[in-house]
Structures are given as C-alpha cells and as structure tokens.
Structure 1
Amino acid sequence: MLVKYNINSLCTENISHSVTLVPRLKYSLNLLDEIIDILDSKRNELKKSNENLTHSFDEFDKTHRSALNLEHLVVFSLDLLLQVKNRTNLVSHVGSIPEILPSAIPMIRMVSAQLFGILPNCSQKLSEISVHLGSIVLDSAALTTARFDFSLSNTESSILINEVKLMVDSKLNKQYPNLDFFKLCNT
C-alpha cells in the first residue's frame, strides 16, 4: 500500500518535532545548573578545609593527599561541566545541535562516573542529562538529516578534557604554590 505524502505536512511534522527538543534541552540545562551549583559549593567547602594544607602538607599522609585529590576532582568536574554548559548555550537552531552537542555527551558521562562515589545524586542527574542530550542529538539529526562522525566527536571531547585538566592543574598550582599538583594527582 502506498501512502501519498504532502510536502507541506512533512514540513509541519518536522517543525512539531523540533519544538519538542526545546523543553528537553531546557530541562537538561536546568539540571546541569543544579549540579554546577552543588559542585561550586563543594569546591568552596573543600578550598576552605584544605587551606591549612598550604603550610602543613605531608605528602606521605594519605588524608592530606586524599583531600587534595578530592578538591582536584571537584574543580575538574566543575570546570568541565561549565565548558559543557557554554557549548550547550551555543545551540541556536536545530541544525546546530548535531554539530555542538555530540562531543558534550562523553564529557558528561566521564564526570558522572567520577562523581559516582562522592556525589551519587549528581552522578545520577548527569546520567539523566546524557540520556536527554543523546535523544536530542538523535532527534535533531533525524530532522536535519545530519550524519555523525563519532571519531571526530571523541577527538573534540578528548581535546577539551585535556585543556580543562591543564587549566585545573594551573589553578590549583597557583592556589597551592608549594605543592606539585600534577605529580600528586597522577600518582
């Protein structure tokens, strides 16, 4: 059985599908903002509690190293999610979604995995965001007939992750000038 399609109805269908992307994207951004606020508070709390380590750090004391590693993890997660938020805010139309969002999803998943043991609620919300963004990317690709290059997406993610790691190491080296953060967090 053949069904006749009218071009105008096809365009209307695409428009109605693209409208459903906006609420999901806004919901995802609201969740992301909540997580960023939580991580920002946690970062401030850790920074304050680790202030004394500037003068009394003992590299052989596991609690000292653990405290600094936790701060590094939180600052890294926060900065990476801020980068994701900035990228997400660049979405201006349906056609830009397949170009901008695919590389954000692996970054969100990585942060979710890292936060699982210390902030499980944030980890769960990040998992939810990655699912929503993944569905938004797939739906937008269907609407725009976009194609994905997952290799390029993964490369973009890796580059941004490495840039954020360097920025975080630099920030924390300035905050704790007598400590070699790169050495501490990679041992």
Structure 2
Amino acid sequence: VMPEERQMPFMDFLDIVEKKVTSPNVFYVQKQCSNLTEEFPELVCDVQPDIPWMSEALGKKPDAVNFWLGESAAVTSLHKDHYENLYCVVSGEKYFLLHPPSDRPFIPYELYQPATYQVSEDGSFEIVDEKTAEKVPWIPLDPLNPNLELYPEYAQAKPLQCTVKAGEMLYLPSLWFHHVQQSHGCIAVNYWYDMEYDIKYSYYQLLDCLTKT
C-alpha cells in the first residue's frame, strides 16, 4: 500500500511533530528521488552534496540525496534497495534491523495487490486496490515479532541490530534487507549511490532463484 501523499507548509508539519497539533495520522517526510535537493533547497547548504570518500571509492556522485523527518510511529517494513546507502543521522536516533543478502532463503515473500490509501470524508483512511495492476512481491513478516509457525525458515536467519545516533553514519550496502524505526522527530539525510549490476548481483539473483525453486 503506497502512503498517502500531501503538501503542507513546513511549519504546519512541525506543529504536528512537536505535538502542538494533534492528528490520528502518522506524518513523515520520506518522499525520495532526491527530495532534499529538489524540495528543500534552503537546506542544501547545510550538508555536503556527497560523501567524498564514498564518491571516490565508487567513482561517481550520489544518484539521490534524501531528507527524512517524522514521528516515532513511522516504521519502515523489511525490504531491500538497489542502492549503496549512506544513512546520516542529524538529530535523534534510527534503529535498524539488518539481514545480509545471504539470509534470502529464510526471508519469505508473498504476492500482494497494489493499493493506495485514500482519505474518507470523516478523515479516516481506507485502502483501495489498484485492480488493474499486477500483484507485486513483498515481505509479509514482521522481524520484530515473526510468526515462526507460518514462516519457520525465518528462525534460521541471523538479524543484526544497530542504533545510529546523532552525528553517526551507517553504510548500508545494496541488497541488504532492513527494517527501520526512529525516535520521535528524528532528522536524517541519506545518500543513495546506484549499485553496480556486477558479479555480486549475479550471486544474489542465483540465490533468489534457488530459493524460489
């Protein structure tokens, strides 16, 4: 289910995060596609345009620089990305649960109908299926409270957990699975570098295909 998106003055958003205004919804600035450079130009001068040692190591500049700010109720479900990710916490803390790509045989996938959240007249949300869209694979398991009766293979996985505090940076390699929580009002900036579709990716594709078989 894609998140419901809306635009509002940034001060209105801060009033919600700072609890000056109450709302039953969960608010999170998490639009990607380099939203820091595209939507928050006032903040660009406050951070580096890239991480020099990473740009040198990869031989390229980041594909996107993203800004994140939200409530503690905003939780990112377990997934992976095709990016080399440098996640920098400016204020607050981020809580990561990580799985290396080698844990793929123990991580379940199921097919789901794509859907969107739509706001009803009373302000509540309803999930509306995109009936003409093809089903998409997603991980149905909550790694913080896994249903091992339904997904017994997950017991063989070896998750890593880490806390990234203000002033710290996490290098999250491409294809690593991650589940993310945060302290309330946490501010972060991350740098996405396109991954190389090299032998590493071929190894992962082989493991993925063998798992499905």
Q: TM-score range by the shorter chain?
A: under 0.3
TM-score by length of 1: 0.27
Relative to its length, the structure with more strand (as a share) is 2
Higher relative contact order (CA 8 A, sep 6+): 2
TM-score by length of 2: 0.25
Relative to its length, the structure with more helix (as a share) is 1
Larger Rg: 1
